[in-house]
Chains A and B, each alone.
Chain A
Amino acid sequence: MHFPPMLLISLIIVTALLISVFVARPAVTATRGGKILAFVVLFLLPLLCMAMGFTSELERSKSTSFCLSCHIMESHGRSLYVDDPSFLAAAHFQNHRVPADQACYTCHTNYAMFGGFRAKMHGLKHVYVQYLGTPPAPEAIKLYDPYNNRECLHCHEGARSFEEGAVHTADPELLPAVKANKMSCLSSGCHQVVHNVGELGKVKFWKGAQ
């Protein structure tokens, strides 16, 4: 759940001001009313602020702008605007097959148990490499594991265009192999152009990029 940052910051400021009353005059807690107020101000309100802040920040970390805020991801961000439907990421982004504001997360999270958690752990590793390690060149960035068809099937399975597509149904063995992850959607020669950031100097960009 995402809370408006200004609402959250207002709540934080009010909480901090109330806490400062107890810091300046801790004797207020001597009365029964003061004790109850202290419990609200020093326990309930900070807990609420922290829970709302964490939830909000967690939600924001799924946004496309958050992922692309690192300089190293700039070219991957540009690849979303390539004016060529064979670029898989661009076609998904531009046609809103994935939510445009969560484009990276939608495809790069793992739709299995703890997938979101694993995505966050990978994100932490990226920050570590960015600040304390040696970040690779954008075109040298690779996935941790081969892309699992499960992530594609999360949306495409059952869709008419996928199940009844001419190429998909030309060979009766194809769809069962794709669904069993025995034939990769990406690396089997069908949808192998994804971000291809090394080729961005040679392609045209969609005007939405401006």
Chain B
Amino acid sequence: MIAVLEKRLQLAGILLIVGLLVEAVCLLWARPLAFILLVGLGGFLGVAGIVLYLYSLVSARDLNAER
């Protein structure tokens, strides 16, 4: 159970790191394409990371209940 939870947290963290790095690059690169990348790719990765983190919290409770 812990291994599954930790894997999800790691994946959420990796998604967030990549999303934040995309955001940082876009903030330095002041072009219209950077705006689209920030909103599209950075936003998607960030939201995916946060959702996965929240899901890992909810699923941890489910896994505890199953035990």
Chain A residues within 8 Å of B, Cβ to Cβ? 5, 8-9, 12-13, 15-16, 19-20, 22-23, 26-27, 29-30, 38, 42-43, 46-47, 49-50, 53-54, 56-57, 60-61, 65-66, 69-70, 123-124, 126-127, 130-131
Inter-chain contacts of B30 with A (CB < 8 A): 60, 65-66, 69
CB distance from A55 to the nearest CB of B (A): 11
Inter-chain contacts of A27 with B (CB < 8 A): 2, 6
Known A22-B9, A43-B54; judge A12-B14 contact (CB<8 A): no
A38 touches B20 (CB 8 A): no
- The answer for the CA separation of A12 and B38 in the assembled complex, in Å, is 13
Inter-chain contacts of A54 with B (CB < 8 A): 38-39, 43
CB distance from A109 to the nearest CB of B (A): 16
A19 touches B16 (CB 8 A): yes
A15 touches B20 (CB 8 A): yes
CB distance from B39 to the nearest CB of A (A): 7
Inter-chain contacts of B12 with A (CB < 8 A): 42
Inter-chain contacts of A123 with B (CB < 8 A): 32, 35
Main secondary structure of the interface of B (DSSP, over half): helix
Inter-chain contacts of A70 with B (CB < 8 A): 32
Quick one: closest A residue to B23, CB to CB? Answer: A53
Inter-chain contacts of A13 with B (CB < 8 A): 24
- The answer for the CA separation of A42 and B43 in the assembled complex, in Å, is 15
- The answer for the CA separation of A160 and B53 in the assembled complex, in Å, is 59
Cβ contacts B19-51/A at 8 Å (1 or 0 each) = 111011011101111111011001100110110
CB distance from A38 to the nearest CB of B (A): 7
A69 touches B9 (CB 8 A): no
A61 touches B20 (CB 8 A): no
CB distance from B55 to the nearest CB of A (A): 12
- The answer for the CA separation of A200 and B4 in the assembled complex, in Å, is 65
- The answer for the CA separation of A5 and B20 in the assembled complex, in Å, is 13
Interface centre among A15, A26, A43, A124 (most CB of B within 10 A): A26
B31 touches A16 (CB 8 A): no
A42 touches B27 (CB 8 A): no
B26 touches A57 (CB 8 A): yes
CB distance from A50 to the nearest CB of B (A): 5
- The answer for the CA separation of A33 and B49 in the assembled complex, in Å, is 21
A23 touches B10 (CB 8 A): yes
